[in-house]
Amino acid sequence: MCSLARYTIMARLLGPEQIGLAALLILTSSFFESVSDNGSDRFLIQDPDGDKPAAQKLVQLVFVGRGIFIALGLLIAAYPMASLYDEPALATGLMVLAAAPLIGGWVHLDFRRAQRAHDFRPEALGIAVAELVSTAAIIIAAYYTRDFTAILYGLIARPVAQVIVSHLTAKRPYAIGYSRDYAGRLAMFAGPLVVNGLLLFVGSQGDRVLIGHQLGVTELGHYTAVLLLVSSPAAMVSRVLGATNLPIISAARSDPAHLKRAADRLAGRSVLLALGIAAGFALVAPVAVVMLYGRAFDLPATVLALIGMLQAARFIRLWPTNVALGVGVSRIVMINNIARLVALPAAIAGFMMLGGLPGVLIGFIIGEFTALMVALVLLNRAVGFPNWDGWDRVAAFAASFAVIYGAAAAADSGHYAFAALFAALLAAIAAGVALRERETIGEVVGLLRTLKPASR
């Protein structure tokens, strides 16, 4: 909701071009965040000794170093980025943005240690406060500045709030320090994820880089604003789903039967939610985009459907990658992101053959499906699951994409009878998926029933 509020106000006050420039600030910062993301905070959850003070001090030291690295990277990249896009103001913006990672590096990671005992309240509070503070800062700044620099106020306010809340909710005193006992184990865990960072950036942000470079800043603004409508809630759900399932999978890794049940539970939830993301966005986006952002951001139904499908394809990868992290096979995550590189040549080919956003988006969707299939093959081999385990889910998911695109194309061309036919076919696929995931649905319904008395 906070992200939606931020971008709705920014879109109305600033317009597509300024949104595109703000997106370039975020893209540059995301690059350095990705190449330095070693997953060390997850080490505190996954490792048997992750709750030891020495391990926590080491990981917090790594976080401080990472913040310094990102800040230096932003300072170095400021003028080259401004020159590349012929936007001198970008240089100043990137130099100011360097303050954000410097502050964020001092976060207290006791909230990760709490998650070993399935206590997610400290992280949830930190996220909530940071998002509210960031949203307020951006809205106020956008009203007064009327340009892309408004995003800087929120990007700096967020880590300030996160750091403060993390220290206030921590049960241990904050400390940083090197530990020879845990450095080797952390390096073994984090090593593949460091290499994975650059690959992750290309896979998750390459679409925006390619769109900004090939189609221009204004088109990047269109895409970024629309993508946020689906990516922000999807990211929130993904973060919660991953955080709540990782400790369960990690605890079950020594018991094959329990591990299989935990993995199936995560797979079922991921498939159901991803299908809901793709179908739901295709249905509501044509109205929601214009209502929230105005006519300046209107896009064809097929483009909107492809944006939703791309985000859904990214979301469902949570299933194999989270299981891999839970059992300590982090190399699968790295290989998974190598497979995502297929998206770049596919997107370039799509751009050349189809032109515009549709070609780029189809290429990146192909990359996400390639990564999903590679991760599933490797995961089944690594943990001893049957070779074809989960492939029926992938097939149903792919079929739903074809049907959603068909319905959107029919709607764009005015053939509403065909759109209704595709919608009926999608309903049939959804019914089959619901039957396949009936145990997962039953668990969710049971959970809601237990919560019902508390809501009265």
Q: How confident is the model at residue 46 (pLDDT cuts 50, 70, 90)?
A: confident
Residue 371 has pLDDT above 70, yes or no: yes
pLDDT at 437: 87
Residue 385 has pLDDT above 50, yes or no: yes
Q: What is the pLDDT of residues 433-447, one digit of tens each?
A: 999 888 888 877 776
- CA distances 35 to 78, 100, 139, 400, Å, are 17, 17, 30, 34
Q: What percent of the chain has pLDDT over 70?
A: 96
Per the CB < 8 A criterion, the answer to whether 253 and 326 are in contact is yes
Mean pLDDT of 10-14: 88
Q: Picking from 187-201, 267-281, 326-340, which range would have the lowest pLDDT averaged per residue?
A: 187-201
Q: How confident is the model at residue 451 (pLDDT cuts 50, 70, 90)?
A: low
Q: What is the pLDDT of residues 211-236, one digit of tens each?
A: 988 888 888 999 999 998 898 889 88
Residue 69 has pLDDT above 50, yes or no: yes
pLDDT at 392: 93
pLDDT at 144: 94
Mean pLDDT of 343-370: 91
Q: What is the pLDDT of residues 233-246, one digit of tens each?
A: 898 888 888 888 88
For residues 116 and 289, the model is more confident at 289
Averaged pLDDT of the chain: 89
pLDDT at 333: 82
* Among 301, 276, 256, residue whose Cα is nearest residue 400: 276
pLDDT at 84: 85
pLDDT at 455: 45
Residue 251 has pLDDT above 90, yes or no: no
Residue 249 has pLDDT above 80, yes or no: yes
Per the CB < 8 A criterion, the answer to whether 301 and 411 are in contact is yes
Mean pLDDT of 395-402: 95
Q: What is the pLDDT of residues 138-162, one digit of tens each?
A: 999 999 999 999 999 999 999 999 9
Residue 452 has pLDDT above 60, yes or no: no
Mean pLDDT of 261-284: 93
pLDDT at 250: 86
pLDDT at 40: 85
Mean pLDDT of 181-195: 79
Mean pLDDT of 347-366: 91
How many CA atoms are closer than 13 Å to the CA of 418, on its beta-carbon side? 13
**Cα angle, residue 310 at apex, residues 19 and 94 outer, rounded to 5°:** 30
Contacts of 24 (CB under 8 A, 6+ apart): 81, 85, 87, 90, 212, 217, 220
pLDDT at 456: 41
Q: What is the pLDDT of residues 320-341, one digit of tens each?
A: 999 998 888 878 888 888 888 8
